[in-house]
Every structure is written in C-alpha cells, then in structure tokens.
A and B are shown apart, each in its own frame.
Chain A
Amino acid sequence: MSAPALRVRKLHHAFARHEVLDGVDLDLEAGQIVALVGPSGCGKTTLLHLCAGLLHVREGSIDNGFSSQAFMFQQPRLLPWKTALDNIALGLAAVGMARAERERRAHELALRLGLSAVDLDRFPHQLSGGMQSRVSLARALVLEPQLLLLDEPFSALDVGLREELYRLLLAHLAARRMGVLMITHDLMEAVRLSDEILVMAPRPGRVVGRFTLALAPGRRDEAWIHRNTARLMQQAVVRASFGLPARSADAPGPGIEELAELVPARPMAAVVPLGRTAGRC
C-alpha cells in the first residue's frame, strides 16, 4: 500500500460569479510540509477549506488519501463555555472516545505544549492569547491526524511565542509522518517550516511558482532562514504576486543556479504534477 497523499487537480472554485481559484494543482505526501504563500484574497483559505471538506468541490478534483485530518484556524476558535481541557478533547469526543481516555490524552499533550494543569481547568476567556493558541494547537494535534491543515494559526502571536510554537510543532511532526498543508503570508514562516513553498497570485487564485527546500526544517538555523527568505523575496514571481515593484533589471541578484538550498522546483511556465510529466495545467 502506498503512503497516503493529498492530490489536487485542476481545481476551480467560484463564489457566485467571483472566481476564486483557477486551476490549482497540489501534491502533498505524508511527512511533507507544504506552505501556500500569497497576498490576502488569493484564495488560500478557500483552497484549504476545500481540502478540509468544509466546502464542496465544484470543478476539478481533490483526492484525499489521508484517513484523518485536523484543522487549525487563524483565531483559536475555542468554545467559550468549555474548559481548556474539554476544548482540547473536543475532536476525540466527536469520534466517541470515552471521557477518561480522551482527558488523559488531552492532558498529556497539553503539558508537552506548555500548558499547566491549572490552565486546563480554566475557561478560554481566562487564558492569554498565547495560551489559547496552545489549546487550539493541542486540539488539532491530539487527534494525531495524518493531515494537518493550518490557516495562519500563528499570525497574531508575538515573535517569542510564535518561535516557541514552531518548535513545538516541528518536534511533534518529527515523531510522526504527518502531512501538513499550511497557509501563510509570512515568507519567513514558510521558509522556516516547509519542505515546499507554493506561491499563489490573486484574481483569480492560482499557483504561480513552486520552490522546494532541501534542508530538513529541524536543522535550519536563523542565518539559513534569513538568507533564503531574502532570496525568495527576490524571485520575480514572488514580487509580482505580492504586488511589489519588480527589481530593476541591472541589479544582479543571485541567479537561480546559486540558490543551493532553494530550488524553484517547477517554474511557472512548466508547472507539472509531481512525479508525472503528462498534461499542462
């Protein structure tokens, strides 16, 4: 049996007449972290919701081979009338796990994510924003999903907290072969965490560039991240997508050949599905 994967082919989506996604292709293998970057309104969230099954696919196909998934939203979205512990265990309760067992698992994971036993008995409004985000992360991870979908979950946090949650997330992923599809508009976040970066452009939303990062996320240091973020920023597709002025032609940036660790996997002109050559998209 082959490892599970998420395959998206020629995905189109429109809200009323407004075309949001126009022919998106995407491959996500188990154990891989794929980041979708792009400006606001480029259809990232719609794509993620389609992958999560929160929206119906109208045109194109999504073949989700992962047997379980969890979604982490931009805001913590905790149920205000449930304690932190019950919030974490929500997904486990949904699959009918007995109370004692799900509380044990939620408790164990929560402690590893930096929540204290006292926090777990509190209601969301009694927790700080950072603690709420930890609860939200724990709620997703406690399901031990094969596919984790992240919708800019760290964008509202301060730098220190964000780094800590990155670390916790990467440590958790290292132990499991989980596929992660994440949305961000923060290029540095994408460079820090992902194995592959898909650059999306708006109106209508489509993938305009793909970059793979060879070094394992756990082994990247700050210098590496800063260097490669700067390189990514200089790519023409990235600048165009975010509406930045193109670099003047005579300023010689590092050519693509020089980017040892950052490889534009499939330049826009020749986007092909991974592992295949047939069909232009």
Chain B
Amino acid sequence: MKLLGTWIAGLPAYLWSGWGAVASLLMLVAVWEAIAAIYGPLVLPDPRSAFQTLHALVTSGAAWPELEATARRALAGFALSVIAGSALGLAAGVSMTASAMSRPVVTVLMGTPPIAWLVLAMLWFGASDGTPVFTVFVASFPIVFVGALQGTRTLDNQLRTMAESFRLPRRMMFFDVYLPHVVSYLFPAWIAALGMSWKVVVMAELLSTQDGVGAALAVSRSQLDTAATMAWISAVVGLLLAVEYLLLEPVKREVERWREPHAASEVDQ
C-alpha cells in the first residue's frame, strides 16, 4: 500500500525525467521513416501507415483478443518460471553441493536456443496453449534460478553474526536480514525474465498457435502486409516498454533505494 502511494506520488517526476528516453525513441522512428522513404512501403512501411493500421486494429477491437491471448501465455509461463525458479534457486543456494551441481545444468538451459525448446514443445503439447507457455517457462526459468541462487550464496556472514548477537527473533531474521538481500537479487532477475517471456511468446505463437500476436504476425507475413506486421511489432514492443518503465522500473527504484550509489539527499553539507 505504501509502495503504491510512493509509486503514484513519484510518477510525475519520473515521467518528466523520461523526456530523454522519449527523444531517443523518436529518433528511432525517424530513422525508420528515412529507411521507409528510401526502400518503399513493400520493404518497410512508413511509421505513419504502421501506426494507422495499429489504430484501426485497436479501434475495430481486433487487436485486443490477440494481445490478451499473448499476454495470458506470457504471464502464465513467466509466473511458472518465477515460482519454480525462485523456489529451486533459493533451495540450491542453501547447499554448496546443490549450487555447484546446478550451475552447469543452468548453463545448458541458458545456452539452448528457445527455438529448440519450441520444436520439442510442439511435439509434446501440439497446438494448445501448452506450447508457448512451456517455451516461455524454459527460456526464463534459468534467469530467475540464477538470480535466486546468487541471492542466497552471497548472504553476508557478518550480518548474520551481528543479527545473532542482537538476538533477532526468527521472524526478523527472515524479514529484515535474509529477505531484503535475496530480493535485491531476485527482482532484477524477474524483470529480465519478463522481457524474455514477452519475446519468446511471440516467437512460439508464430509457429504453433492460431491466435495471439505471433499468429497475427504469421498471417500478415503470408499476405505480405508489412504495415500490419509493423503494427503488431509496435504493439508488442510498446506494451513491454509501458510495463517495464511505468510499472517495474519505478517499483524497483523504490524497493532498492538503499543501494542507489548517489541518492538525492547529498546536497546539505
């Protein structure tokens, strides 16, 4: 609740600080437009027609079911990987042997391209939701796992002894000593995993499902409708940017205020 309050209170200042980011995004759009002007609309439609198509898709209501299906799959896979990755990673971090053993496995998981998992998933789950959800899960699980593992491995012995010397009860030991430290590793891992989920789900849908943004992309590709293709890409990227910069980044700043190297209150001396 308190977090929500500070989030809302800090939003205007945060948004104002985002002008630089907006400017660089607009630069990107300008480059896009320049390339479109050179190569013509068949290779790359200009931004205006892409955004017009997107606008039409949104106002006609055609975009929402697809985006909803994609979001549902991405979030389902993401939630699974957060739950399993956090729990297993924390458990593995407690034991030296388990963390040593899991490291190569995680490297293998991270090194395997998501497309390989997708092929396997299509064999196992067919055209159901299971295919994209599984692919998303496998792709983002190792990220969360490593974050949780490092969080537990790096717990500070000195702080633990200090806490013991002050006879901290078990509950405080967990909430005031262990949890903040672990969360400072977990939270960035979750954010990275969310970005990964969002990318992988579109790829999985493109090859395996009948609905969702990925499937819509496949249709627009087969119709050589580049404007629609760019419209869908803009929608997906725009949503990710919105979630990351409007929701996660401010929360992260608030949660990790204590580790900011230069905080605001350094002026009075």
How far does the alpha carbon of A80 sit from the alpha carbon of B180 in the complex, in Å? Answer: 9
Query: In whole angstroms, what is the CA distance A121 to B159 when docked?
Result: 21
Instruction: Tell me if A70 and B166 are in contact (CB < 8 A).
Output: yes
Taking CB atoms, residues of chain A closer than 8 Å to B180 are 79, 81
Which bucket holds chain A's interface residue count? Answer: 20 to 34
B265 in contact with A94 (CB, 8 Å)? no
Q: Contacts A93-B172, A118-B268 given: A77-B158 contact, CB under 8 Å?
A: yes
Chain A contacts for B172, CB-based, 8 A: 93-94
Q: Tell me, yes or no, whether B263 is within 8 Å of chain A by CB.
A: yes
Which B-chain residue is minimally distant from A93 (CB atoms)?
Answer: B172
Residue of A nearest to B264 (CB): A126
Complex Cα gap A91–B257 (Å): 23
Secondary structure type dominating chain B contacts: helix
B159 in complex: contacting residue of A77, A126, A143, CB < 8 Å? A77
Contacts of B261 in A (CB 8 A): 125
A127 to B69, CA, bound (A): 49
Q: Is B168 among interface residues, defined by CB-CB distance under 8 A?
A: yes
B258 touches A54 (CB 8 A): no
Asked if B268 contacts A54 (CB within 8 A), the reply is no
| Interface membership of B113, Cβ < 8 A | no
Q: For chains A and B in complex, what number of residue pairs have CB atoms within 8 angstroms?
A: 61
Q: Are B263 and A126 in contact (CB under 8 A)?
A: yes
Query: In the bound complex, do residue B158 and residue A126 qualify as a contact, i.e. CB atoms below 8 Å apart?
Result: no
Contact (Cβ within 8 A) B265 A125: no
> Nearest chain A CB to B254's CB is how many angstroms away?
12
A75–B263 alpha-carbon span in the complex (Å): 23
In the bound complex, CA of A90 to CA of B168 (Å): 8
| Residue contact A80 to B258, C-beta cutoff 8 Å | yes
- The 6 A-B pairs with the shortest beta carbon distances in the complex, nearest first, are A71-B165, A81-B180, A77-B162, A81-B258, A123-B258, A91-B166
User: 25 A-B Cβ contacts within 8 A?
Assistant: A54-B161, A54-B164, A54-B165, A70-B166, A71-B162, A71-B166, A73-B158, A73-B162, A79-B159, A79-B176, A79-B177, A80-B258, A80-B259, A81-B180, A81-B181, A82-B176, A90-B166, A90-B176, A91-B166, A94-B167, A94-B172, A118-B265, A121-B265, A123-B257, A125-B259
Chain B residues close to A by CB (< 8 Å): 158-159, 161-162, 164-169, 172, 176-177, 180-181, 184, 257-259, 261, 263, 265-266, 268
